[in-house]
Amino acid sequence: MLSVEHVTKIFPNGRGIRDVTFSVRRGEVFGFLGPNGAGKSTTIRHIMGFLKPDQGSVKVCGHDTWKEQGRFQKYIGYLPGEIAFIEGMTGKAFLDFMAGMQGGVDSAWRDELIRRLQFDVRTPIRKMSKGMKQKVGIVAAFMHRPEVIILDEPTSGLDPLMQKVFIELVLEEKARGTTFLMSSHNFPEIERTCDRAAIIKDGVIIAVKDIHELQSMQRKLFEVTFESEQEVNDFMKCGLKIDSREGSRVRVAVQGDVDRFIRETARFHVRNIDVFTQNLEDIFMNYYDREGQTP
Amino acid sequence: MNMPLYRQMLAINLKMFMNYAVGSAFYILLMFWIYPGIAKNSGSLNSLIDAMPEGVGKAFGLENGFGSIGAFISGEYYGLLYLLILSIFCILVSTQLIAKLVDQGSMAYLLSAPTTRTKVALTQAAVLLSGLVLICAVTTLAGFAGYAWFIGDLADFDGTGFVLLNAGALLLFFCIGGISYLISACCNDEKRALTLSGVITIGFFSLNLIGKISGQLSWMRHISVFSLFDPGEIVGKTANWPLSVAVLAGLGAAAFAAGMIIFRKRSLPL
């Protein structure tokens, strides 16, 4: 559906992307992860045909996105990372205009998208909040039912409720066979929607992983409060990795093997459990550190 | 051409186009209105002009004097103010139509729709030219209306000369618009595009003015496209009309084409 082949682009300041290669299958949701400035947006700009690659090519449904402008766009829905609409329009006028550019859309589906994302389309764009612009952008990316949807940081600016609505939308369209490429910082969103994800750093893809593998890389901290300090002493003998201890409260670091943690903990009386999920940046850091140790 | 884009761009810009057109029409009507008063004193005004250094009179298009309405309008309006209005129009609108959309990022939306960059660029050029033609047409019509209203029978009016004058101005700004459009298509930064096309247009304008004032510096005129539109010569029927038309049309068309090709080929920071 979408294949990025050996794309290299070096900007005059020396930054850029080098030999980026990956492909996304039909009906797959592909995550694109990496810290700021790693090259996610640069890669997406090549996919959209905005930048001319120094080397390599991008193909969407068999069409080269640099050489065959005008052919590939009808298969694509796009949500830019930094949304900028044409000035002096309302949300409705903009969506009508984009529908015209797309050659017509199913208005019932468009109205349903607007209803589910809950915003007033009559608001002038210059008066919209960031979240509201994001919603207009999401409608514009989905409304013509494209085969491939490219989303650059789709949930930035959305409140948690709307993030949930958005994830539902992605899963529904995925079930219909739509292919997604989605860059993100938000791990739960990637976790719930993606099948595979690529990790990019300093312009180089360092891994393309199954999402389950990524989950197993994620370290979780469980803060367990036991009934007594005696139980804590016994618990600490079990060999689980203990992060810290404070009276009858213990922080346990768990990476992957959640099952063993549950079994060990269940032998004691537990008052409370809290979980701290490691954020995506920390996972990257871990991953990069390991890469550095075994060159 | 992309019709949805053309319609949308006209919808956004039509009000501004009309403002320019109405402003220009209003001014030309004003010129016709005050002319009868000036014509009565044309003798003394002409002797005043004769007293001025020859270059200054030529620079401001006064060499035909105030004896006829054609000479008056060509000198007083088409010689200076109209050129400034249309220069500003070309610089602002051409920058808005491409460089601004690239700078802001909204060009990403236009290019993510099933169209090509060439079509987008062609459409934006068509919007610019539509505005230009609208202003020139309204100004021409206002000229005829003004003559009929304030001066007298249109049968006495040198209509052909007046139409040629307006067609010449339109062609000059087809060329200036083309150059500004080319700059707009090359720039990622809206302000830079605005500055560059401003400097080039005002530079051409000044070269022409200086060349006219000073005999020694008259060579300067020949590197300015403004020298190809001389209102006094057109009304006085001494202009080399076919040559000027060919050069202005050729330069303008080449600049538009170059803008489209460059816009098609370059990487855009969207």
Percent of chain A scoring above 90 in pLDDT? 57
C-alpha torsion sign, points B260, B264, B267, B269: positive
Q: How far apart are CA B51 and CA A250, in angstroms?
A: 102
pLDDT value at position A149?
A: 96
Q: What is the mean pLDDT of chain A?
A: 88
Residues of chain A within CATH 3.40.50.300 domain(s) are: 2-215
- Residue A136, chain B, CB below 8 Å: the answer is no
Tokens of A25: 């299958």
* pTM of the entire predicted model: 0.86
Q: Looking at chain B, which residue has its C-alpha nearest residue A140?
A: B109
Q: Measured at the alpha carbon of residue B116, what is the angle toward residues B111 and B119, in degrees to the nearest 5?
A: 105
Decide if A43 contacts A204 (C-beta within 8 A): no
Q: How far apart are CA B127 and CA A85, in angstroms?
A: 19
| HEC profile of B139-153 | HHHHHHHHHHHHHCC
Reported as a single tens digit per residue, the pLDDT across B63-112 is: 666 667 888 888 888 888 999 999 999 999 999 999 999 999 999 999 99
- Which ipTM score applies to this complex? 0.85
Query: At the topology level of CATH, where does A219-277 sit?
Result: Alpha-Beta Plaits (3.30.70)
Average pLDDT estimate for A81-91? 91
DSSP string, A185-244: S-HHHHHHH-SEEEEEETTEEEEEEEHHHHHHH-EEEEEEEES-HHHHHHHGGG---EEE
Best mutation site among A13, A15, A50, A102 for testing chain B: the one with the most B CBs within 10 Å?
Answer: A50
Q: How far apart are CA B126 and CA B94, in angstroms?
A: 11
CA distance A34 to chain B (A): 20
Superfamily name and number for A2-215: P-loop containing nucleotide triphosphate hydrolases (3.40.50.300)
Looking at the partner chain, which of A78, A84, A103 has a beta carbon nearest the beta carbon of B112?
A78
Q: Which residues contact A101 (CB under 8 A, 6 or more apart)?
A: B2, B4, B5, B110, B113, B114, B115
Q: How far apart are CA A25 and CA A47, in angstroms?
A: 15
CA distance A13 to chain B (A): 14
Residues of chain A within CATH 3.30.70 domain(s) are: 219-277
Decide if A81 contacts A130 (C-beta within 8 A): no
Looking at the partner chain, which of A74, A84, A103 has a beta carbon nearest the beta carbon of B106?
A84
Q: How far apart are CA B163 and CA A179, in angstroms?
A: 59
- Computed over its alpha carbons, how large is the radius of gyration of chain B? 20
Beta strands in chain A (DSSP E): 2-10, 16-24, 29-33, 55-60, 63-64, 76-79, 148-152, 179-184, 196-201, 204-210, 219-226, 242-246, 249-255, 270-277
Q: How confident is the model at residue A243 (pLDDT cuts 50, 70, 90)?
A: confident
Q: Which residue has the tokens 């509201």?
A: A132
